[in-house]
Amino acid sequence: MAPYSLIIGNKNYSSWSMRPWLMMTACDIPFEETVIALDTPNTRQEILRHSPSGRVPVLKDGELTVWDSLSIGEYLAEKHPEAGLWPADPIARARARSVSAEMHSGFGAVRQNMPMNIRSNFPGEGRGPGVQEDINRITAIWRNHRRRVTNPADGPYLFGRFSIADAMFAPVVSRFRTYGVELTDEAAAYAEAIWDMPAVKAWVEDARNEPMVIDRHEL
């Protein structure tokens, strides 16, 4: 039996659920998965059985319940230092925490206007007020941090090897693909590296095979 239980929402739509799922899958941390259908009359009641926040994702470790994607990542990083979920270098680690927190709390225009929908293709849609500013800032983060990784052998991710920061931005890569956001240089290469991850491919395959549909996220 896996030591952890991870409660998530629909894989096609739940960007917050995708983040800890990727952290655990990419780092070979075993867990049992429970998917709760979102946007149904019973959704909140079902989630409240697992978490007082009434939101997914939720991680259970024995009697302990941890909620919120970033909190789950911090907990896993402490429990599994060998996984390297944060960069080993303290300066890189501080930067990784900063961009992860910015992703966690910011970019409301992208969230509101470009909801995650892996199965769909809406090129040119979702360009509401403030979206381009969010896109510019996100791609600047990707570009600037990739330029700091001077040794290609270190890996193709924001800080070389995969970290919590990459899990936080992975759903944005999905959004940009769905809504046809054009990327260039290091930002484009980074997005491709994320999309090519085996863990991301596994999540995307599951999302495409899901029967559940949330009408308000379909244009």
Confidence of residue 215 (pLDDT cuts 50, 70, 90): low
Architecture of domain 4-83+210-214: 3-Layer(aba) Sandwich (3.40)
pLDDT, mean over the chain: 95
pLDDT in the model for residue 1: 53
Domain extent listing, the chain: 4-83+210-214, 90-203
Structure tokens at 218: 């379909």
**pLDDT above 90: residue 2:** no
pTM equals 0.95
pLDDT digits (tens, 9 = 90+) for 153-182: 899 999 999 999 999 999 999 999 999 999
37 φψ region: left (φ > 0), alpha (ψ -120 to 50), beta (else): beta
Q: Please report how many Cα atoms fall inside a 13 Å half-sphere around the Cα of residue 64, on the Cβ side.
A: 10
Three-class secondary structure of residue 50 per DSSP: coil
Peptide bond into 81 cis (omega under 30): no
pLDDT in the model for residue 153: 84
* 90-203 topology per CATH: Glutathione S-transferase Yfyf (Class Pi); Chain A, domain 2 (1.20.1050)
What is the maximum alpha-carbon separation in the chain? 51
**pLDDT above 90: residue 219:** no
What element of type H or E holds 101? Answer: helix 90-105
Q: Which residues touch 42 (CB under 8 Å, ≥6 apart)? A: none
pLDDT digits (tens, 9 = 90+) for 25-75: 999 999 999 999 998 999 999 999 999 999 999 999 999 999 999 999 999
